[in-house]
């Protein structure tokens, strides 16, 4: 069985040929990250992922986490893997070395994470959430908070989480009831209960630092009155030493469908009245702080789903090459014809090519979002910064919502390739499918991502970010027109872009009319068609590079890869994009059946 997670050739293609990440080394910020260094980083990440993290995936799923009177133990194999990840300074790859980071480009960190997350994302949630909560401290913390917490967290010595959800307040965060009362020493007494807290309690580190949303007494109702607090499991003294237990108690853990290696906790804060926290940022600005960090969190979830899909595709291709089943259709009447590997059967090839096209398009999209972040960090033009930030804002619900939808679909096809063997635990597919499913739910369900795209992102800044995104697609389109063999792809993408622009205008206008409910009933299909067009864009971009390389005489060992890029695009443009155009037509109707049907008519 294969022991790799992602296609290194494809990763290198996106990094160096599509995004030309080595060019970032021209800027002082990333001067040391030339192509040679980038390749070394990716190689080291790949080795760690394959040799140390991947073996924990199945073990972690089988062993799970155990709860004993408030204490949680993670799978035993996680301890060595976490120590190696921590010692290699991988927890905060993109952050300032002053605080324990490596200062690398986000695009390069995406490639390293491609391997780490694909190897075992349940395990990688522990350092991932640590980095996310540390980032909150870096952006919003006082100098004292940074001094006490940041290096310990970015180094992985301490871990972190984010506490948002409560039993009565799931996606409606404004309904939370956790309270904060200011003390004479400037700290706050925190009282409340939180649920679904990933990595909320475990034995990987000596302290866990929670970023907690709570409402200060007499604060406004709803999200306007929510503040953000730092609440460590063990109190941290002013000199940085560990103090007393801070009355943060895990009251139970969830038995889940997947990601068994990551603990999901219910936690009580201040059950004995002894939980303290410090304000992080300004009073009543907690949701603002969380939203600024939401892009990173949602992009990580997209990468989690993608990691499952990438692994599923690699396993499926390998299995299809080895599994001999049935005769080649061209030899069906020959009773002496040998059976052939299932990769020779048209249906098997169709499913594999669909998986391949989505994997390639999704990898390019996720890395592209990271590349936009890097461009913001190196450019001095405020106009350019605003442009790339706007594009990121539009793409995040696609990178989270659309990508995890398609990732689950890819995992499903991978299981189908295995047939009955895919459904049993002796093979990796059933775990990948189970683990992938949660990515469509947490950090905002994919329905919420669709509502975010329609309700917030589409009309942001009078629609300029969305138009900037279409403009970027237009540049790829113009370049492809001049490349022999891509004319038909370019024509099809141009039609899809024009139709998407029309649909966006229609549904955006409808969303601010008396048919707002009709519009939002089509928010999800709108996210799907937007994602499909973005996939087509990425595949045409990739094909443009591949076609030019073939035209100039690619090396023999690279020829199949480049030809494969053209076939991925050909399949997508001829088999998937026509369906997308049909969906766009239905969106234009904004039919009201879904909102007009009475509740009683659903039966039950």
> Which residues have a catalytic role annotated?
443
* CB hemisphere CA count around 26 (13 angstroms): 7
The span from the CA of 595 to the CA of 158, in Å, is: 48
The span from the CA of 320 to the CA of 284, in Å, is: 55
Could you tell me which of 114, 193, 179, 127 has the C-alpha nearest to residue 155?
127
The span from the CA of 223 to the CA of 194, in Å, is: 17
Residues 6 or more apart from 421 whose CB is under 8 A from it? 427
Written as six digits, the tokens of 313 are 């595709």
The answer to whether the CB of 395 falls within 8 A of the CB of 534 is yes
User: Helices (H) and strands (E) in the chain — how many of each?
Assistant: 20, 14
The span from the CA of 589 to the CA of 592, in Å, is: 9
Q: Tell me how far apart the terminal alpha carbons of the chain are, to the nearest angstrom.
A: 47
The residue whose two tokens read 């409402």 is: 215
**Residue 424 region by backbone torsions, left for phi larger than 0, else alpha for psi between -120 and 50, else beta:** beta
| Phi and psi, residue 496, nearest 5° | -65, -40
**Residue 369 region by backbone torsions, left for phi larger than 0, else alpha for psi between -120 and 50, else beta:** alpha
Give the C-alpha distances (Å, rounded to integers) separating 337 from 88, 327, 330, 345, 516: 54, 7, 10, 14, 61
Helices (H), 4-142: 8-12, 35-48, 55-63, 77-87, 106-140
The residue whose two tokens read 């998937």 is: 576
The answer to whether the CB of 476 falls within 8 A of the CB of 540 is yes
Provide the 10 A C-beta neighbour count for residue 186: 8
Provide the 10 A C-beta neighbour count for residue 438: 23
């Amino acid at each position: 069985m294969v022991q790799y997670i992602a296609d290194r050739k494809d990763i290198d293609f996106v990094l160096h040929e599509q995004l030309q990440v080595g060019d970032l080394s021209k800027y002082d910020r990333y001067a040391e990250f030339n192509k040679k260094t980038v390749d070394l980083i990716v190689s080291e990440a790949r080795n760690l992922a394959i040799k140390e993290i991947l073996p924990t995936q199945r073990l972690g799923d089988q062993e799970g986490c155990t709860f004993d009177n408030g204490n949680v133990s993670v799978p035993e194999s996680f301890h060595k893997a976490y120590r190696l990840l921590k010692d290699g300074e991988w927890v905060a790859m993109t952050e300032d070395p002053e605080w324990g980071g490596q200062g690398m480009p986000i695009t390069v960190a995406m490639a390293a994470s491609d391997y780490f997350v694909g190897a075992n994302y349940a395990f990688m949630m522990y350092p991932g959430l640590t980095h996310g909560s540390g980032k909150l401290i870096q952006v919003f913390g006082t100098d004292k908070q940074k001094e006490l917490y940041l290096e310990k967290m970015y180094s992985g010595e301490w871990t972190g989480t984010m506490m948002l959800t409560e039993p009565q307040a799931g996606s409606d965060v404004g309904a939370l009831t956790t309270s904060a009362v200011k003390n004479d020493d400037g700290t706050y007494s925190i009282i409340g209960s939180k649920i679904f807290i990933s990595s909320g309690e475990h034995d990987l580190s000596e302290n866990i630092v929670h970023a907690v949303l709570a409402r200060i007494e007499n604060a406004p109702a709803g999200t306007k009155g929510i503040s953000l607090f730092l609440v460590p499991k063990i109190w941290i003294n002013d000199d940085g030493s560990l103090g007393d237990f801070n009355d943060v108690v895990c009251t139970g853990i969830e038995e889940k469908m997947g990601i068994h290696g990551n603990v999901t906790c219910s936690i009580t804060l201040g059950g004995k009245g002894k939980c303290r926290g410090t304000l992080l940022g300004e009073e009543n600005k907690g949701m603002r702080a969380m939203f600024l960090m939401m892009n990173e969190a949602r992009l990580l979830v997209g990468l989690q789903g993608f990691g499952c899909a990438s692994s599923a595709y690699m396993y499926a291709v390998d299995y299809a090459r080895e599994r001999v089943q049935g005769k080649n259709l061209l030899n069906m009447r020959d009773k002496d014809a040998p059976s052939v590997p299932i990769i020779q059967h048209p249906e098997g090839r169709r499913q594999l090519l669909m998986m391949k096209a989505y994997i390639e398009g999704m990898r390019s999209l996720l890395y592209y979002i990271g590349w936009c972040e890097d461009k913001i960090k190196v450019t001095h033009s405020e106009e350019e910064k605003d442009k790339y930030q706007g594009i990121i804002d539009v793409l995040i619900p696609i990178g989270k919502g659309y990508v995890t939808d398609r990732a689950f679909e890819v995992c499903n096809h991978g299981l189908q390739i295995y047939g009955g063997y895919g459904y049993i635990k002796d093979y990796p597919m059933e775990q990948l499918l189970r683990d992938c499913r949660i990515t469509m739910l947490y950090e905002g369900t994919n329905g919420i991502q669709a509502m975010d795209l329609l309700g917030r992102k589409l009309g942001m800044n009078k629609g300029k970010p969305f138009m900037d995104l279409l403009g970027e697609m237009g540049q790829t389109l113009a370049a492809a027109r001049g490349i022999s063999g891509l004319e038909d792809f370019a024509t099809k993408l141009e039609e899809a872009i024009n139709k998407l622009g029309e649909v966006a205008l229609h549904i955006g206008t409808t969303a601010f009319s008396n048919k707002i409910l009709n519009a939002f009933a089509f928010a999800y299909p709108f996210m799907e068609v937007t994602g499909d067009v973005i996939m087509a864009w990425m595949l045409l971009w990739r094909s443009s590079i591949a076609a030019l390389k073939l035209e100039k005489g690619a090396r023999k060992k690279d020829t199949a890869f480049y030809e494969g890029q053209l076939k991925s695009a050909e399949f997508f443009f001829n088999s998937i994009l026509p369906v997308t155009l049909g969906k766009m037509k239905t969106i234009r109707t904004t039919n009201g059946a879904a909102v007009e049907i009475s509740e009683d008519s659903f039966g039950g």
